[in-house]
Amino acid sequence: MQDLHKEKIKIKQQLLKEFYEEKFLNYKIGEKYSSPHLISLEAKNINTDIMFIGQETNEWYGNWEDVYTRGIAEQMNIYKNFMDKHYLSMNNLFFRYIKEIINYNNIVPVYTNLFKFDLGDDSLVKNISKAPRETLSKIIEFHKGILAKEIEIIKPKIIIFFTGHNYDKLFIEPIIRRNGDYKKLYRKIDKLKCDEWKCCHLDIKEFEGFENFTGVAYRTYHPMYLNRNLNRFGNEIMEFLKDRVSNII
């Protein structure tokens, strides 16, 4: 059984590598963005059943041009090394919330972002949301299909989006719904007192590229905002997500 699991991970890793090579090596971006955040499933104790999705990186080991000299395998290895050596000791709210939701279990979930890079070290701001309109349009066009393909390959059973409404509108509206109203994906969770605006079941299966997703997806605010509202709704959301994940582990 363990050998079969390892073989499945190996196959998924190869499929990710091939996809990233086609997508990232064939695309010449004339900007000094950060190097791309490419998932590796070779990290120790990784559990591909659980995926967390944030907004974008906040620096990621060099700039975009570095991926052409490193190659995709080495760029993916950066992710592996980060998860192996730094994940457990990371103390920012994003990673603290992830570790709390998985109940500090001895596993490593898959972690990625809506956007595979940030605006880079030369930019006054790194947030994709702050990019000029023309730049943002190009970034959004580039990202069409990436997250869908990652999910298709990895096949997580549960996905938790730590995105918030600004990034839902920025990414989900043009990329998943293809210019539809992102809020129409929100489904009320009956077990929660708070409304779907704060935490919801995210209905992505009906959209192009996500049709074969057989798991469940939830979205809520970024941990920084959740943490500021623990007593209002943050604690309730955290306990709900912990319960959902415990059914998977």
Residues 186-222 have pLDDT tens digits of: 899 999 999 999 999 998 887 888 999 999 999 999 9
Whole-number Å distance between alpha carbons of 37 and 151 = 15
For residues 245 and 50, the answer to whether their CB atoms sit within 8 Å is yes
CA of 40: how far to CAs of 169, 177, 213, in Å? 28, 27, 20
Q: What is the pLDDT of residues 116-166, one digit of tens each?
A: 999 998 888 889 999 999 999 999 999 999 999 999 999 999 999 999 888
For residues 114 and 42, the answer to whether their CB atoms sit within 8 Å is no
| Residue type present at position 209 | G
Whole-number Å distance between alpha carbons of 193 and 239 = 12
Question: Can you tell me the mean pLDDT for 62-90?
Answer: 95
CA of 81: how far to CAs of 76, 183, 211, in Å? 9, 36, 32
- For residue 203, the model assigns a pLDDT of 86
Residue 229's SS3 state is: coil
- For residue 1, the model assigns a pLDDT of 58
Q: From the options 3.40.50, 1.10.287, 3.40.470, 1.20.950, give the CATH code of 1-247.
A: 3.40.470
Nearest by Cα to 214 from 163, 144, 152: 152
- For residue 30, the model assigns a pLDDT of 64
Residue 111's SS3 state is: strand
Least reliable range by pLDDT among 15-29, 180-194, 228-242: 180-194
Give the residue ranges of DSSP H helices in the chain.
2-24, 66-70, 72-85, 93-101, 133-143, 146-154, 164-167, 223-228, 235-246
Count helices and strands (H / E) in the chain: 9, 6
Question: Can you tell me the mean pLDDT for 174-186?
Answer: 77
Residue 153's SS3 state is: helix
